[in-house]
Amino acid sequence: MNLFTLPSLLLGFSFFSLFINNGVVFVDALHKIYPELQSLQTDGAVIKPLHRTRFHFQPRRHWINDPNGPMLFKGIYHLFYQYNPKGAVWGNIVWAHSISRDLINWKPLKPALYPSKPFDINGCWSGSATILPGNKPVILYTGIDPQNRQVQNYAVPANLSDPYLTEWIKPDDNPIVDPDSGVNASAFRDPTTAWLSDNGHWKTIIGSKRKKRGMAYLYRSRDFVKWTKAKHPLHSAPNTGMWECPDFYPVPLSGRRGLDPSVTGNWVKHVLKVSLDLTRYEYYTVGKYYPEKDRYVPDNTSADGWSGLRYDYGNFYASKSFYDSMKKRRVLWGWANESDSAQDDVSKGWAGIQLIPRRIWLDPNRRQLLQWPVEELNKLRGKEVVLRHQKLLKGHHVEVKGITAAQADVEVVFSFSSLDKAEPFDPSWVDAQAVCDQLGSKAQGGVGPFGLLTLASENLEEFTPVFFRIFKSHHKHVVLLCSDARSSSLKEDGLYKPSFAGFVDINLSSKKLPLRTLIDHSVVESFGGGGKTCITSRVYPTKAVFGDAHLHVFNNGTEAITVDYLRAWSMRSARVN
């Protein structure tokens, strides 16, 4: 849960400034809470459609943040989410509730949880859903009590025969987890989906911090009501600050199958993800869970800290995954806040989207995860255009015509005949975003920059490039993927326009690089290298809107690039809330 009530914390991504310290990008928060705007109702008739998405999840109006408690129950997908029913900035938070049969089209129900009892009177904040034996869902969530302590509560359906789970009950024996004297009661939140051990104990972890150390406290229970804190945390890491929205789950060593969170064994690894309150980024590690000791040990294949692996190297936070038992997959939800100002949000009447749900599985290299939009999204594909064997010399760009470029799905494979012209890689470039910020899409390189110009105006006054650049290191090549919003809008005031970037751990022996990009009016969601590196940008073009948006492939490197094939689809609008 993002605790926007604390003045020292960030309110989304508006008005960011970044600075770099030892290769780590920190966020200098200039944000403040807007109590005068929290309950400022917007007339539904004046909700501004200009930058609203058409196939991403968002409510009809007002503010949303963290996805909560996603689950499958009796063939119906449920998504709960933090929502302000009274305005387009954070405040008055309830657990809103929507249902779907395909993860793409959604019907809203009434809020499932809202502050009503002493144990949550000051807030019903983020949490998870667990399916107990007998197909009985239960929600674990963080409540804020009259002393402003963060306590953990549970809620159960009022009627298990109702597949929509319209009504939820908060029993009076809450809270079920109180912060003890060793826990910071102002930094103790967001319980995970619980898992069942072989000895019959349910287990969950709760995010916290001890001084500057991020903590995942572990709790055990036999009846899901009485919980006992373990002597040691499941895991912790120094100098990472508050761990929000932790997630912990198994993945098989091979294949794309998802697993119930209770699965253990030598044929699986485990993933621990945390959302870093200080930077508003998330990172995860892949490692080994020892159930007999209740300890998680990350593999020594990525950093366990700020510079570690991310689900997404852009505007993506407070993510939550769940096991889809119907399709045997693990599905990931992530929240993307607006990148404009609070005043902009109030003016347009809405703020925040949930990104397209992603299927996630372990890369065959066993060092990271792969991610891909759920297959149901493909049902929205409409008119298709195809490019094949299109050669791009230095400085060339070719428009992809015949689709709605403001609302599109694009899959492309780029190839090159040689890597001899790749620029040398500077070992001090430990932060991909800083490299992208320094070099950009316009500066000529050797192999790259090449990629897509999305949401481009007719004369390229504004555009959002998504592109690769390849460097030569001592023993390998380094691939950089960027999604650069700096040229995305002619509007400057009140917009955060960063050059998001991540490195792509990919074998270039085939001399090919795949990219998929989802374009939806104010969001550009990209999957590089087959889902190895993902970047989401929120953008607000002024000219490249609706039918005036254009899409190009481009190359600004001296090495000629070939578009082996490109398939692009106009996307139909989903029915969302």
Residues tagged active-site: 66
Q: Tell me whether strands 464-472 and 447-456 are parallel, antiparallel or unpaired.
A: antiparallel
Q: How many C-beta atoms surround the C-beta of residue 169 within 10 A? A: 11
| Closest alpha carbon to 532 in 338, 310, 237 | 310
Both tokens assigned to 212: 């500057």
- Quick check: 148 and 186 in contact, CB under 8 A? yes
3-state secondary structure labels for all residues of 105-139 = CEEEEEEEECCCCHHHCCCEEEEEEEEECCCEEEE
Asked if residue 67 has a cis previous peptide bond (ω within 30° of 0), the answer is no
| Closest alpha carbon to 87 in 55, 109, 63, 56 | 63
* Amino acid found at 16: F
| Closest alpha carbon to 454 in 562, 550, 557, 563 | 550
| Closest alpha carbon to 372 in 216, 524, 534 | 534
Q: How far apart (Å, rounded) are the C-alpha atoms in residues 337 and 346?
A: 14
Strand, coil or helix: what is 45?
A: helix
Q: How far apart (Å, rounded) are the C-alpha atoms in residues 39 and 534?
A: 35
| Closest alpha carbon to 466 in 523, 547, 383 | 523
Q: How far apart (Å, rounded) are the C-alpha atoms in residues 546 and 521?
A: 7
Q: Tokens 């969170």 appear where? A: 261
Both tokens assigned to 518: 């989802």
Both tokens assigned to 45: 């008739």
* Amino acid found at 271: V
**What residues pair up with 483 in beta bridges, in sequence order?**
466, 500
Q: DSSP string spanning 420-458?
A: TTPEEPPTT---HHHHHHHHTTTS-BSEEEEEEEEEE-T
